[in-house]
């Protein structure tokens, strides 16, 4: 399937969807605290997306996924299903939000700490965030996807961590998952060459231990095999004529600070 180059009108709709997704993460932060269940976080996000934003939570019923967001706690890597699990002091949790507005998707995730995290957990979160921006800052016309994956992998492994290879970023627009696949590892000067008008996610999953993961019997939740912590951050990116635009930038982020 060919990579879809978005028109100016489609890009504007992507901007709106991306802003809404970012706003959900800005909203939910105050609710992430000891004693709250991941199901309650899902309910709050669902109500906000549907009632406040007049939008659609893309994960709900997507290929059978039963909830409106993904909540991946501690050694859960991605696609955690919100449920009865109650967060406790020291937990870390990735909240992954995708909204659909006017037929277009905005997809983003953020790491949250519950109470006071361990030094190890906070370092993992910080390194993963920097890995995301290491990839983002390479985005421009003519850059190849292998360059982005290689830069992320090289940075992460230099910090003593590992990159999950079974799951990756993806094109996004009218479709939740479009071409191309955006790997977070790879070889320089390989893969497709980026063009202005492409939109895709970069979303590295970084493990404190080995990169190996397994899928739980629920068919969705991915965990580290060694049960060590994992972290992930995600943004939806637009390739512009001169570089990139982060369509899911949150209020607490300014690109310059990650240079």
What are the pLDDT digits (tens) for 68-88? 999 999 999 999 999 999 999
Distances, alpha carbon 216 to alpha carbons 12, 142, 170, 202, 222, in Å: 38, 39, 23, 24, 6
Cα gap 254→258, rounded to integer Å:
8
pLDDT at 1: 74
> Token digits for 236?
């939806």
pLDDT at 252: 85
Strand blocks (E) in 135-188:
162-163, 169-171, 178-182
Residues in the chain: 259
* Cis? peptide before 180, omega within 30° of 0: yes
Task: Collect the ranges in the chain with pLDDT lower than 70.
Answer: 254-259
Q: What is the pTM of this model?
A: 0.97
pLDDT at 31: 98
Handedness of CA 116, 122, 126, 129 (dihedral sign): negative
What is the number of helices (H) and of strands (E) in the chain? Answer: 4, 15
pLDDT at 253: 86
């Amino acid at each position: 399937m060919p990579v879809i180059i978005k028109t100016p009108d489609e890009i504007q709709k992507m901007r709106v969807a991306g802003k809404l997704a970012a706003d959900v993460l800005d909203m939910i932060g105050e609710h992430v605290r000891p004693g709250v269940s991941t199901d309650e976080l899902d309910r709050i996000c669902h109500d906000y997306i549907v009632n406040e934003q007049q939008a659609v939570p893309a994960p709900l019923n997507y290929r059978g996924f039963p909830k409106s967001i993904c909540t991946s706690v501690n050694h859960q890597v991605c696609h955690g299903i919100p449920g009865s699990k109650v967060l406790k002091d020291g937990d870390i949790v990735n909240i992954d939000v995708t909204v659909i507005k006017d037929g277009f998707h905005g997809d983003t995730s953020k790491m949250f700490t519950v109470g006071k995290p361990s030094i190890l957990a906070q370092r993992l979160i910080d390194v993963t965030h920097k890995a995301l921006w290491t990839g983002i800052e390479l985005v421009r016309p003519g850059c190849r996807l292998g360059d982005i994956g290689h830069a992320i992998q090289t940075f992460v492994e230099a910090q003593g961590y590992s990159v999950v290879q079974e799951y990756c970023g993806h094109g996004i627009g009218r479709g939740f998952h479009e071409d191309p696949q955006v790997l977070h590892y790879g070889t320089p000067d390989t893969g497709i060459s980026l063009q202005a008008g492409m939109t895709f996610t970069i979303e590295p999953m970084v493990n404190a231990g080995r990169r190996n993961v397994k899928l739980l019997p629920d068919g969705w939740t991915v965990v580290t095999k060694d049960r060590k912590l994992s972290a992930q951050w995600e943004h939806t990116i637009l390739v512009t004529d001169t570089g990139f635009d982060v369509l899911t930038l949150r209020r607490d982020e300014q690109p310059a600070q990650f240079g």
